[in-house]
Amino acid sequence: MAQFPSFKIGGLSRSLSTTSALDSEDTINKDINQELNIIFDLAVNAELNEKVNFYSELRLGSSLEVFDTSASYIKIRRILLFGHVSKHVKFEVGDIDVKMSPFTLWNNEEEGVISENNLFSTYREIQRYENFNVGNNWRRQGAKLNGTNKLSSKDSIYSQFFISREQASNEISIPDRFLYGESLDFVRPRFSIGVHHVDLFTFNRGIQQEFNLHNHVYSLHSTYKRDKIILSSEIGQSSRTLINSIINSVIEPWLNGQFLNLNLNYQYANNSYVELNYRRVTDDFSSPGSQTKRIDFSSSPNLFSTVNNNISPRDILISDLVNDITFFRQNSIYNRTIDYDLDQFNPLFGLTQPYGISTPNRQGFDLDFFYRDSLGIINFLVGSSYLTDLSGEGTENLRSYIQFRFNAKLSINKLINLNRQITIHAGLKSDRVNRSHPEELFVDNVNVNSVLLDAGTEVELFKKFNFLIAYKKLGVNGTDYLGVRNEDFSISSFELFDVDSKQEILSAGFSYDFNKKTTFLINFQRIGYDNMSDLNSFSFNQFFALLQLRF
C-alpha cells in the first residue's frame, strides 16, 4: 500500500464592503469610493513524510464592484516547506518568519496604537494579516535552521541561522541584496547568555558596480532570574562599510555605532509587573533589521490621495494605518522592504522613538507599571520615558523627550456581576520634546507637544449582539528641526518641522457573533483632519460591513 501524506485544512474567509465619501465641499476630485471585496484563504498543512512538512495558503479573491469573473483571482499567499534535518535541527524553506532582538532584527509595531476596542482592533488585525506582520517577525523569502541541543537536564543551547534574498538584481545596475543572521544561546534555568549577528549586504556579481555594502549588527545579551526579578542586558555594535569586491578590501572606514540596553523586571503578582529600562544608542547605530519601518510613509494613501478639490496631496493619517485596507499587496502603505538608510517617518506620529527602541541617538530610562487583577476586571499599564539625545544635533544642547503613557481595559460586567458584557477601553500617550538654543543663534527653541487619545466601549445589548463606539485623536503642535541623513548615515542638513494639527476618528457600530468563529461587524466613522499651520482641513465619512469566518 502506498503511503499517502496526511493533510490538515484550515483558513478564513472575509467579505469587506467599504463606502467612503469626502465632505460636501470637496467635489472636484473623486469624492466617493466604494469597494466590495471577498477573499477566501485556504491553508493546507501536509505531512509529506517523517521529515518534511508542507504548508501553504491559497487565496481565492474577488472584487465585487463588477459582476463578472474578470475581477476574480487566485494567488498563493504563502508556501513553506519545514521539518527536521536531524533530531536536533529543524529547517524551514520558503516564506519564513524571522526575528531576533529589538536591536538586531525586529519588526516594530506601527504607530497609533494604545488601547483599541474591536472597532479599531478588528481592522488593524486585518491590516497585519494582509501585510504578513505576525508579532514582531519579518516575513521573508529564504531558508532558516533552528537547532536545540540539551547539554544536561538543565542546560540547553539554541541556535538559529537564516538567509533571505531581499532584492533581485536587474543584471545591469541593481545588485542582489541578501540578509542573513545567526544566533547562539546558552540557556540555564536562571541564566542565559547569547550572541546575535545580522548582515544586510549587496552582491554585485554580474553588474557594473565594484562595491558591496555591508551592514553588520552584533550583540551580546544575557538574562539573570532570581525569584520574581529578571535582569537582562543587551550590548552591541553596528558596522557598515563599502567593500571593493574586486580587491576584496574595505575602501571606506567602517562606520561603527553602539548600543546598550539594561532591563529590570519585577513581577510583584501574577501577571503584574514593574519594569525599568535603561538604553543608550549612538547616533551612528545602523540596524536595518530593527530600524526599518512597518509603514512606508513615503507612499500615498489609497483612499482620497488628494483633497481640497485636488489641491492638497494627503499624507498618511492615523486612520489609514487602521482602515486603508487593500487586498493587493502592491497598493499597500505597509512596507516589506528591509533596506539600508533610515526610512522616512511621519513626525506627527511621534518623535520620541520613531524607530522603536533602537532609534539612533537616544539615551534614558523607561519605567512601566502593569497590573491585572485575578478576576480579569481591570488591567492597566502606566508608564513613562525620559530620554535625551546622546549627541547634540546641530548644536551642543540635547533634546529631551518625555513620554507618558497609559492604557486600561475595564470589564464593567465583571465588576457589577452582569451577564451581558460591558467593556471600556481607554488610552493616552503624551509626548513632549524640548531643546533650548542660545539667543545669539536666532533659532527658535525646539518645543513639540503631542497627545494621542484612544477611547472606546462595547456593550452587549442582546446575546452576542454588541454596540461599539470608539474615538481616537492625535494632536500635535510645535517646532523641531529633523536631521536629514546622507547615504553614509551621517546628518547632512535639517528639515523644519513646524506644525499645529489634529486628526481624529469617531466610529460607532454593531457586531454580531454567530459563533466563536463567525462574526459580522458594521460601523460608520467620521475622520477629520485640521492643520492650523497651512490652513489645510478636510473630513470624510466611511461605512464598513465586514463578515469574517474562520474554520
Which region among 51-59, 265-273, 277-285, 287-295 touches another protein (by CB under 8 A)? 277-285
276 binds another protein (CB under 8 A): no
- Closer of 197 and 362 to another protein (Cβ): 362
Q: For another protein, which is the closer residue by CB, 261 or 507?
A: 261
286 binds another protein (CB under 8 A): no
Q: Residue 481 interacts with another protein (CB under 8 A)?
A: yes
Q: Residue 291: in which H helix or E strand, if any?
A: helix 288-291
Q: Please report how many Cα atoms fall inside a 13 Å half-sphere around the Cα of residue 73, on the Cβ side.
A: 11
What is the per-residue binding string for another protein in 298-317, x denoting contact by CB under 8 A? --------------------
Q: Which cell numbers hold the place of 7?
A: 493533510
Question: What whole-number distance in Å separates Cα of residue 139 and Cα of residue 156?
Answer: 27
Residue in 92, 111, 393, 504 binding another protein, rule: CB under 8 A: 393
CA of 139: how far to CAs of 78, 100, 273, 404, 450, in Å? Answer: 10, 13, 31, 32, 32
Of 251 and 496, the one with the shorter C-beta distance to another protein is: 496
Q: What is the residue whose three cell numbers read 474562520?
A: 550
Q: Is 12 in the site for another protein (CB under 8 A)?
A: no
Residue 323 in the binding site for another protein (CB under 8 A) = no
HSE of 525, CA atoms in CB hemisphere, 13 A: 25
x-marked contacts with another protein along 423-452 as a string, rule CB under 8 A: --------------x---xxxx--------
Binding span for another protein by CB under 8 A among 116-124, 165-173, 258-266, 301-309:
258-266
CB of 4 to another protein, least distance (A): 53
CB-based contact 194:184 (threshold 8 Å): yes
User: In whole angstroms, how far apart are CA 428 and each of 67, 94, 227, 345, 370?
Assistant: 45, 40, 33, 21, 15
Residue 194 C-beta: closest distance to another protein, Å: 14
Stretch that binds another protein, among 37-45, 401-409, 411-419, 488-496 (CB under 8 A): 488-496
Q: Residue 379 half-sphere exposure, CB side, CA atoms within 13 Å?
A: 11
Question: What residues numbered 45-74 form the site for another protein, per CB under 8 A?
Answer: none
Sign of the four-CA dihedral 28, 506, 405, 267? negative
Of 235 and 508, which CB lies nearer to another protein in the complex structure?
A: 235
Residue 143 touches another protein, criterion: CB under 8 A: no
Q: Given the complex with another protein, which of 148 and 490 has the nearer CB atom?
A: 490
Alpha-carbon distance of 233 to 259, in angstroms, equals: 11
Q: How far is CA 332 from CA 78, 106, 297, 298, in A?
A: 17, 20, 11, 12
Give whichever of 83 and 483 is closer to another protein, judged by the CB atom: 483
- Tell me whether residue 80 or residue 443 sits nearer to another protein (CB atom): 443
Of the residues 492, 517, 533, 551, which one makes contact with another protein according to CB under 8 A: 492
The DSSP code for 330 is G
Lookup: cell for 433: 520634546
Of 463, 457, 459, 374, nearest to 409 by C-alpha is 457
CA distance 288 to 284: 12
Number of neighbours of residue 8 by Cβ within 10 angstroms: 10
Element (H, E) at 491: strand 491-515
- Of residues 335-374, those binding another protein (CB under 8 A): 361
The minimum distance between CB 260 and another protein, in angstroms, equals 5
Question: How do strand 156-167 and strand 249-250 relate by DSSP bridges?
Answer: unpaired
By beta-carbon proximity to another protein, the closer residue of 353 and 423 is 353
> Of the two residues 117 and 261, which places its CB atom closer to another protein in the complex?
261
Applying CB under 8 A, which of residues 392, 404, 513, 530 lies at the interface with another protein? 392
Q: Shortest approach of another protein to residue 359 CB, angstroms?
A: 14
**CB-CB contact of 204 with 211 (8 Å):** yes
Q: Least distance from C-beta 70 to another protein, angstroms?
A: 25
DSSP string, 107-123: -PPPSS-SS--HHHHHH
Q: Does 388 bind another protein (CB under 8 A)?
A: no
Residue of 341, 344, 342 whose CA lies nearest to 202: 341
Strands (E), 48-129: 52-63, 72-84, 89-98
Task: With CB under 8 A as the rule, give the number of residues binding another protein.
Answer: 30
| C-alpha to C-alpha distance for 163 and 182, rounded to whole angstroms | 9
The residue among 324 and 393 lying less far from another protein, judged by its C-beta, is 393
Q: How many residues does the chain have?
A: 551
Q: Is 36 in the site for another protein (CB under 8 A)?
A: no
264 lines the binding site for another protein (CB under 8 A): no
Options 299, 309, 395, 400; binder of another protein; rule CB under 8 A: 395
- Of residues 188 through 247, those in contact with another protein by CB under 8 A are 222, 233, 235
User: Binding of another protein at residue 496 (CB under 8 A)?
Assistant: yes
Binding site for another protein (CB under 8 A): 222, 233, 235, 258, 260, 262, 280, 282-283, 361, 390-396, 437, 441-444, 481, 483, 490-494, 496
